[in-house]
Structure 1
Amino acid sequence: MVVASTANAFAKEMSIRKRIASIYNKREEDFPSLREYNDYLEEVEDMIINLVEGIDVPAIEARIAEYQRENAEQIMNAQARKAEEYASALAASKGQLQPTGIDLSSSSQAGTSNVPQGQYAPAVAGGIAQPRPMGIPNPLGSGHDMMGLEYEDEETMRIRVEKAARAGGWSFEISKKRALEEAFASIWV
């Protein structure tokens, strides 16, 4: 029962944070000083906490509505800037320098998409495209290591491992000395 109430409280806080973040979406570069930006963030966080806790909710909702009316154009510009950043990140992940030409406003809920067959369509959350991870994972044993580099012969691999260990401060002599000290320390006379 406690888990369910904790999950509900978490879901409530996340929905409030998401709604407030879509309205109060200024960035550090929108402020003349770091101090003013930090004050803005503190004010937003105070409002979120008060909404989650149910403290003075009507006054806070009125403040949010007023802020929304006064800054509607700025909010829309920030949302557009965020959408452009997502689109450029998506294009960069596909290795393109220009927008893909995919109409993100088309209805992806209808099951139709103008993405070519066999390609991932961008996930759309709240009208903003989310970039997808690209590339095909290498199966184990394919001649590549975890970083995608090709294996070399065993001698080169051994040398690389030894160099990495020495760079981390490990040496065979120190480990041998420690093992001997621990072994002799455990002998009772």
Structure 2
Amino acid sequence: MVVSSSNPHSKEISIRRRIASIFNKREEDFSSLKEYNDYLEEVEDMTFNLIEGIDVPAIEAKIAEYEKENHDQIMINRARKAEELAAAQAASKGPAQNDSDGAPNQSSQTGYGTGAQGQYAPTFAGGQPRPTGMAQQPVPLGGGLDLHGYAADDEETMKLRAERGGRAGGWSAELSKRRALEEAFGSIWIT
């Protein structure tokens, strides 16, 4: 069996990254939600056609024309995204940490830090800081907390959650009954 060295997923990822860096308008850049959705649909259609190799020269020409006409707006949006990312990283790291000799701490440079209790916690994972202690955890509205720190629910709410969770996983009462009957009748031996 011959395995191709080129990964089709990496091709899709590189195309999507390239298109996203060019077609980087946001919802607030449009006067209506419909216009924004039409823009997103057009971008996705072009992306799909590039990935599948459909009418590539025409799409590349369209991308080049769009990039030429909207160069300033593209650069502004890239800068805005970079500023937001830098702000998110700075907010997740908190104040700069220094060793006793005044040099920046290695963990502050690598993006890893320690939590309030000395626990390891990546300070930047997917754009959101990771909470490390109970003080940072949101407290559910309604009832208080039980012994383990979870929301204390009444019996009716617990039954409802269990039923919804089962349905979300594809379970139903009818399925359970049918399986019990099949197993019961499957075990009957007729001689």
In the alignment, is the contact (CA less than 8 A) between 1:93 and 1:133 conserved in 2? no
Q: Distance in 2 between matches of 1:56 and 1:17?
A: 17
Give the aligned residue type for 2:152: K
Q: What is aligned with 2:119?
A: 138
Q: Distance in 2 between matches of 1:19 and 1:76?
A: 14
CA shift for structure 1 position 90: 1.3
Normalization by structure 1: what TM-score? Answer: 0.57
CA shift for structure 1 position 91: 1.6
**Correspondence 1:169 to 2:158:** yes
Q: Distance in 2 between matches of 1:50 and 1:11?
A: 16
Q: Distance in 2 between matches of 1:57 and 1:77?
A: 27
Counterparts of 1:1-189 in structure 2 under 5 Å? 8-95=7-94, 116-121=104-109, 132=111, 134-136=113-115, 138=119, 148-149=133-134, 158=147, 163-164=152-153, 166=155, 168-169=157-158
Could you give the per-residue CA deviations for residues 33-88 of structure 1, whole angstroms, max 9, x where no partner exists? Answer: 00000000000000001001111100000100111111110000000000110111
Normalization by structure 2: what TM-score? Answer: 0.57
Structure with greater contact order relative to length (CA < 8 Å, sep ≥ 6): 1
**CA root-mean-square deviation:** 3.6
Could you give the per-residue CA deviations for residues 108-161 of structure 1, whole angstroms, max 9, x where no partner exists? Answer: xxxxxxx83524336xxxxxxxxx45434638xxxxxx96349xxxxx964866
Q: Distance in 1 between matches of 2:119 and 2:156?
A: 28
Could you give the per-residue CA deviations for residues 164-186 of structure 1, whole angstroms, max 9, x where no partner exists? Answer: 5758426xxxxxxxxxxxxxxxx
Q: Distance in 2 between matches of 1:60 and 1:159?
A: 57
Q: Which runs of 5+ in 2 are unaligned?
A: 97-102, 121-130, 136-144, 160-191
Q: What is aligned with 2:185?
A: none
> Per the alignment, do residues 118 and 39 of structure 1 end up closer, same or farther by CA in structure 2, a change over 3 Å counting?
same
Q: Which runs of 5+ in 1 are unaligned?
A: 101-114, 123-131, 140-145, 151-155, 171-189
Identical counterparts, % of pairs: 54
CA shift for structure 1 position 10: 1.2
Aligned length: 133
